[in-house]
Structure 1
């Protein structure tokens, strides 16, 4: 009978049922505050992406592509917060009031004001100080601010001439006529005299603003037109003496380098049959009817805007007197109405400039009411002396 040796089994310590895993750093469980903050970021990213998509619907060409690219970038940020939240993303949170307000403006207006607000929103991004946001996300927000700034600048340039005349015309009307009304009332004259003085100030100021703006813009456009190079060299070049001519001086005076100027002269004189080096060539001039100075605005548009907006501002201080109010009550109501209007015009300028609308509005209010207060004191002095 044969016997089969059984192998001896050395005792061993029981090990884990699963193979050993390499040590990996574990992300600490997010706190309730973290989850709340991430959900807010998620909601804001979704809202901002929607703003850019809404703005893109009112744009064409390059601007549309830029806005859609910004929306896509906000989508990447949204994916980051979704990954961190995981199953804790929960029900979609409402975006901040600022983001929802931007969305409303983008859907219903889609103007440069929305871009200016979006620029401020991108500039206030908290990602640079948030440890849970990546450095790339913080850098994205900084770049987004510059992209939106560029888009807003295009709109500001289109508005610059006429809009500048409109906003500052209204502001001048508010401050100057309030000061006139306050000074006249402080001197002790009758309310009818105050009203007539206010109407006279409105008409005189509006005419002055309109005429001044017309002359200013027309002169600026004429100055710019005078600096525009002409194509007289095309007609004169064939008749010039090849050995002795001043064509080279023309291009040097226009700011070209000596090499570029010589190249252009050779083209104009017919010594080159083709443009051998396009980098040395001037761009062809625009047709006469194409406006290169749209940022200046038209003279008539600026004049009409100045007249109307000065009048719209100047009528505010005399409204209480038009409705029969007199004395201190009329002055108080006039001051309140003008104060509200100054806050509005200052806020609009703040929006367009990408700064705080509240700060600009309060500054306008302080300057306007300060000027009116000084005029009121002067009216008291003159009323006492003359009376």
Structure 2
């Protein structure tokens, strides 16, 4: 018969119980916003967490008591899962699963510890799917916003350090915002349009039916088309023979991008908005009448907060430490701004 647990053991088990219940609820909430295979996987994870919950309930017996509150990190996960169900939650859940204490706890079974290790990989794979779905948009958002933050902060601080009047610094900041945003938008439009045009040029065109019917079956020149498209000689011969024999229709029709103009314009508008949203932040103190070093400190502080937020988001989505990524982003941004500020001091002007 198992000895009566100590009060310390009971408290630890109750914490584990609360964590398992919360994690199961998180996975169920995420599953409610998914469909198909992802929904089934998330529900299976919730079922596994329920097995762990039952283990702690069995050990606790009458000592289970009222449910304990979970730790702040798990509560935040639950809040995000109920309201957003996004890849951010999966990224956070991945980190939570990686910190499982069961490996070093004698009261947790080996199966439970193995479950948690597998759960980390399952959640990592689900988070990776989400990252892949938003990778292009996310990259553009982070790149555009940070470019606006850093470049305009550097510009504004350099002009302020040079001793120019506040109205000139404000005008320079607004001009930098517009010039940078328009440059980003134009560059993105040209980039997307060029990519679409290249893809269209490389797309497989249809093989005219009347041409196929007049081909020499013995020579089978149609196989050259398939070999040029990357098939092996044997695969090309088999595919061409099927087409010539009329047993296979022509699937290789032209695959032009849908609404390329709209796609390019949308990407351009997004780049403009992302850059402008970052570039406007260093200008805000000057817009509201701050001057001199006060405006410099406020602009640097606002940009610093924004850099920390974007860096933390990058860390969350990449499965890395949000704090480390946030500090790296801050160091890069402040480094660039400090360099231009020093240059402004060095080449300062006297305004009569």
Q: 1:185 to 1:235 in 2, by over 3 A?
A: farther
In structure 2, do the counterparts of structure 1 residues 160 and 286 end up closer, same or farther at CA, with 3 Å as the change threshold?
farther
Contact 1:165–1:213, Cα closer than 8 Å, also in 2: no
Could you tell me whether the CA contact under 8 Å between 1:233 and 1:268 is conserved in 2?
Answer: no
Q: Hey, what does 1:185 align to over in structure 2?
A: 160
Name the structure with the higher helix share.
2
Find the counterpart in structure 2 of residue 377 from structure 1: 342
1:263 aligns with 2:228: no
Whole-angstrom distance in 1 between the partners of 2:10 and 2:50: 19
The 1:290/1:157 distance shift into structure 2, 3 A limit, reads farther
* 1:224–1:31 distance in 2 versus 1, CA, 3 Å: farther
Matched-pair contact (CA < 8 Å) for 2:87–2:130: yes
Question: What stretches of structure 1 move > 6 A for 4+ residues in a row?
Answer: 384-387
Query: Are residues 95 and 202 of structure 1, via their aligned partners in 2, closer, same or farther at CA, if it must alter by over 3 Å?
Result: same
State the match for 1:197 in structure 2: 172
What's the counterpart of residue 12 of structure 2? 37
Q: Deviations over 1:289-348 (max 9, x none)?
A: 887x9xxx9432322121112111111111111111111111011111111111111112
Structure 2 match to 1:61: 36
Post-superposition shift, 1:178? 0.4
Partner of 1:19: none
On the 8 A contact 1:161/1:302 being kept in 2, the answer is: no
Q: CA deviation at 1:177?
A: 0.5
Does structure 1 residue 302 correspond to structure 2 residue 267? yes
Aligned pair in 2 of structure 1 residues 239, 209: CA closer, same or farther (>3 Å)?
same
Given that 2:14 and 2:68 are in contact with CA atoms closer than 8 Å, whether structure 1 keeps it comes out as yes
Alignment check: 8 A CA contact 1:209 1:306 kept: yes
User: Which of the numbers 368, 377, 380 marks the counterpart of 2:333?
Assistant: 368
Task: State which of 298, 301, 305 in structure 2 corresponds to 1:336.
Answer: 301
For residues 143-180 of structure 1, the C-alpha deviation after alignment (integer angstroms, 9 at most, x for no partner) is 22232233223322332223322222111111000000
Q: TM-score, normalised by structure 2?
A: 0.89
Matches within 5 A, 1:279-294: 288=255
2:212 equivalent in structure 1? 237
CA distance in 1, matches of 2:189, 2:244: 43
CA positional deviation for 1:27: 4.9
**1:134-283 to 2 correspondences below 5 Å:** 134-232=109-207, 236-270=211-245, 273=247
Instruction: Report the equivalent of 1:345.
Output: 310
Could you tell me whether the CA contact under 8 Å between 1:162 and 1:301 is conserved in 2?
A: no
Offset of residue 121 of structure 1:
1.6
> How far apart, CA to CA, are the structure 2 residues paired with 1:61 and 1:290?
28
- Asked if the contact 1:171/1:310 (under 8 Å) is kept, the reply is yes
Q: 1:227 to 1:33 in 2, by over 3 A?
A: farther
> Secondary structure of the residue that 2:347 maps to in structure 1?
helix
CA RMSD between the two structures: 2.9
The CA deviation at 1:286 is: 8.9
2:79 equivalent in structure 1: 104
The alpha-carbon distance between structure 1 residues 49 and 362, as it changes in their structure 2 partners (threshold 3 A), is same
Question: How far off its partner does 1:197 sit?
Answer: 0.6
2:281 is the counterpart of 1:316:
yes
Unaligned runs of 5+ in 2: none
Whether 1:121 and 2:100 are equivalent positions in the alignment is no
Is the CA contact 2:153–2:282 (under 8 Å) kept in the aligned structure 1?
yes
Q: Please say if residues 222 and 240 of structure 2, whose CA atoms lie closer than 8 Å, have aligned partners that are also in contact.
A: yes
Q: Check conservation: 2:97, 2:120, Cα contact below 8 A.
A: yes
Larger Rg: 1
Question: Matched residues in 2 for 1:317 and 1:58: separation?
Answer: 38
Distance 2:55 2:254 in 1: 51
- SS of 2:268's partner is helix
Distance 1:107 1:181, change over 3 A: same
**What is the aligned counterpart of 2:63 among 74, 78, 88?**
88
TM-score by length of 1: 0.81
How many residue pairs get matched?
A: 350
Q: What stretches of structure 1 of length at least 5 have no aligned partner?
A: 1-25, 276-281
